[in-house]
Amino acid sequence: MADVRLFLFPYAGGTPAAFNNWPIEFPDSIETNIVYYPGRGSRFNEPPIRNFSVLVDEIHRAILPIVDKPFIFFGHSMGGTIAFELARQLKQRNLLQPQILFVSAQAAPQLPNPNPSIHTLPDSEFVNFLRGLNGIPADVINHSELMELLLPTLRADFETIENYEYVADKNQLTCPIIAFGGTDDPRVKPDHLEGWSIHTKASFKSYYFSGDHFFINTARRSVIASMVTEIKSLNATR
């Protein structure tokens, strides 16, 4: 039986399939749970949520029954901010926090977003932007009919994160925060990533992997190996 539950939060526009290859690479002691946002995967027929707080509240209600053992959050890009705000909500309600909060390819929330808003761009420009991020498989993004189906959900995700507003809270998290970044990520620079350090009373650490904004695909095994090392190290000290 697993000792800890790991919750994986996808990026904007990401489906649960983004983490399909992850579970088999973790040891049996770590149980993986992929978070499904509305509008994708088995929830494809549900309308996507465009309000960040509403989305976090829904996830909070969904995971409460299964945080009955030690758990960990990992979020990539938008998923990192979702995981962070969910951890804050748990703390505000005096509930258990994750043992570790992993934030990946996402700038610290208190920093101004240096990237332009894209959710209102015309379809062709929006799709070209997504193509440049390298996060959507070529066989999907080059399939015009499939992309037509996916565009409302993709736009909703970017609207959600681009309209997110950080509200300062003097009560820092008490779990360690570990930030992952790509050495060639054009959207998240090292100083944006290091800014996460102010959000915890516990330890902060950062790792950098070869790759762009989606280094979790090209450097997946290195990312997972680093996560496993950190999880085992934490549990060994308890």
pLDDT in tens, 108-145: 999 988 788 889 888 889 888 888 787 777 888 888 88
Please state the domain count of the chain: 1
Q: pLDDT class for 107, splitting at 50, 70, 90? A: very high
Identify the pLDDT of residue 59.
95
> What domain range is 125 assigned to?
4-236
Encode 7-28: b = buried (16+ Cβ within 10 Å), e = exposed: bbbbbbbbbbebbeebeeebee
CATH of the domain at 182: 3.40.50.1820
The SS3 of residue 6 is: strand
Identify the pLDDT of residue 238.
59
Q: Tell the burial category of 147 from Cβ atoms under 10 Å away from its Cβ (0-12, 13-18, 19+).
A: middle
Mean pLDDT estimate for the chain: 91
Identify the pLDDT of residue 41.
75
Q: Which two tokens stand for residue 108?
A: 């610290």
Q: Which residues are catalytic?
A: 77
Q: pLDDT class for 192, splitting at 50, 70, 90? A: very high
* Structural contact between residues 210 and 218, judged by C-beta atoms closer than 8 angstroms: yes
Identify the pLDDT of residue 99.
96
* Structural contact between residues 99 and 72, judged by C-beta atoms closer than 8 angstroms: yes
Whole-prediction pTM: 0.94
**Which of the two residues, 151 and 104, has the higher pLDDT score?**
104
Residues with Cβ within 8 Å of residue 129, at least 6 apart in sequence: 118, 121
Q: pLDDT class for 188, splitting at 50, 70, 90? A: very high
Give the whole-number percent of the chain exceeding pLDDT 70: 98
Place of tokens 């779990």: 175
- pLDDT tens readout for residues 18-72: 898 999 999 999 999 999 998 887 787 888 889 999 999 999 999 999 998 999 9
Q: Which of 54, 63, 46 is nearest to 9 (CA)?
A: 63
Give the whole-number percent of the chain exceeding pLDDT 90: 65
